[in-house]
Amino acid sequence: MRNTIMSVTSAGALLVLVVAVAAVSGLTLGPTQKEECATGKYPPPKTAEYQVPKYVVNLDLPAADRWTHIVKERAKSIVNLLTQFKDFLRALDLQVAEMFINYIDHNFGNLTNTLPEPFADEIKGISKATGIPLGEVLMYNIFYEMFSMCTSIVAEDPAGKLYHARNLDFGLLMGWDIKNHTWVITESLRPMIMNIEFQMKGKVVYKAVTYAGFIGAITGMIPDVLTLSVNTRFSLTGGKIGIIEWLLGDHSSQWVSFLTRDVLTYSTSYQQAKEKLSQVELIAPAYYILGGNYSGQGCVITRSREKALDIWELNPGKGVWYRLQTNYDHWKAPLFVDDRRTPGMRCMNQTTQQNVGFAGLFNVLSTKPVLNKLTTYTALMQVNAGKLETYKQHCDDPCWPW
């Protein structure tokens, strides 16, 4: 880890780190927004470098047994990720890190009992199947509340068919490898990406994209009903405060990715999902990007921890055929060192509604800096066909770090 730059994990820390990372990456200050929109990127090569494996999770099994077949196969990858995270902490402060790691391994796991079912038993089952301390499995499953950057798009084609696509960017400020120009945690996560079919009585209930050992849902769909993705929302009263409250005993709020999974498990309509995603109190603020199965059913729900602050909807009758959301409120300017919105919208407008589809959306999400060094995967969903495709993503130099 000697060739790695470390820093604190917050959006504001980008301003502190930007000059250093740009310098060691050979980049000019500020991500390029005049990058040519990518073309011809879809479909990616049918190689392990891009393709994502598919697994089935049987919801008829006891919760503790549902993930065993997956995590036993992927235990080494999960251990490697957790080791990288512990190395990151040690590089910040060895003494404090050892105290924190000791607490995680010996005490933190007790908090699993505060989680609602089936999540508590699923996490316990993963720990038992892999031999990884329960506290480390729990910590891994709350990473998303703190460390994610994303771009999500919901769009409608001229025939009224809804498409939903997203980049999942993960590992912000968690170790920059100077030699290879990569984020350490991002590189560890990419091999762990998988598509999951959640089945009950042999039938698909919903589909999701996740990382091995991560039981929450960040990207998913109920075939012929809805599509859903989650983006982190940066806020001064954000996830860290919610996590501290949870650690101190207030368990009234719900984890962002657990609510997403509940919606995918139990929702029967776009409207029902929209209402639940707008009302349930959360550990962290977030953006829920939701798509339905009829024309006009698409929106971005901007959430505080307590409630929806804004619902930004499609309006194809007035020419609003897509919504693109990154990690900043749509009515405010994005952080100047992290503007993925402007190039993303420029490429969507250049694509035009006539070319909405998997190829067009994949090209937009493959355009720098929408595609960046944090990007682990691109997911593409079409609700009526029940189609979910996921591809590992890579951003070759020169490439902006986020």
- Point out the residues that are catalytic: 150
DSSP designation for 353: G
Nearest Cα to 124, choosing from 164, 161, 170, 71? Answer: 71
Nearest Cα to 115, choosing from 218, 255, 213? Answer: 255
How far apart (Å, rounded) are the C-alpha atoms in residues 200 and 217? 17
Q: Are 363 and 42 in contact (CB under 8 A)?
A: yes
Helices (H), 93-238: 94-106, 119-130, 134-140, 144-147, 184-189
How far apart (Å, rounded) are the C-alpha atoms in residues 49 and 192? 12
Q: Are 279 and 308 in contact (CB under 8 A)?
A: yes
Q: What are phi and psi of 57, to 5 degrees?
A: -110, 120
Which two tokens mark 37? 């929109």
DSSP designation for 143: T
How far apart (Å, rounded) are the C-alpha atoms in residues 334 and 341? 8
Which region, left, alpha or beta, applies to residue 291 given φ > 0 means left and ψ of -120 to 50 means alpha? beta
